[in-house]
Amino acid sequence: MRQRSTLLFHAGLLHAGLACAALASAQALEPSMNYTLQCMGCHTPDGSAVPDRVPAIRTTLLPFAGMPAGRQFLVQVPGAAQSTLSNAELAELLNWMIENLSIDPGRFTRFTEKEVAGYRKQVIVDVRATRKRLLAAMSP
C-alpha cells in the first residue's frame, strides 16, 4: 500500500511538473511576457533609462528599426543575441517593443525570423561605440 501511495505521489508530481513546463512554454511565446522575463530587468517596464547604466530605448527603437545598421544593432545587443529566445520569438519581441514602448510608434518594417537569424551570427564588439554611431546617424 505504501509503495502504491509513493508511486501515485510521484506520478502526481511528474504530471504537475509537465503541466508547469507546458504553461511556461506557451507563455514564452507571448512577446510581452518575453519582455518581462528577458528585458525588463535592465530596460524597466516602460523602456526608460537607468541613469549611468542603461540607455532609454523608448526614443531609439523606431529610428533604429528604420536603418539597416540599427536593425542589426537591435538584434545583436548582448541581451537579445544571447537570449534563449528562438529567432522567431526574438523577432516578435522586437516588433512588440517597437509597437508598445516607442514614444511615438510609427510605421516600420517588421523583423522576421530569417532577418534575426542572419544578424545573430555576428557579434557586436563595442556596444556603446556602435550605439553612439547610430545616434549620430539619427541626428539631422
Q: What is the 3-state secondary structure (H, E, C) of 44-79?
A: CCCCCCECCCECCCCCCHHHHHCCHHHHHHHHHCHH
**Residue 19 pLDDT grade (very low, low, confident, very high; cuts 50, 70, 90):** very low
Q: What is the pLDDT of residues 85-132, one digit of tens each?
A: 999 999 999 999 999 999 887 889 999 999 999 999 888 989 999 999
pLDDT for residue 73:
97
pLDDT tier for residue 4 given thresholds of 50, 70 and 90? low
Mean pLDDT score of the chain, rounded to an integer? 83
Segments making up each domain of the chain, as ranges:
31-138
Task: Dump pLDDT digits (tens) for 45-81.
Answer: 999 988 888 899 999 999 999 999 999 999 999 999 9
According to CATH, the topology of domain 31-138 is Cytochrome Bc1 Complex; Chain D, domain 2 (1.10.760)
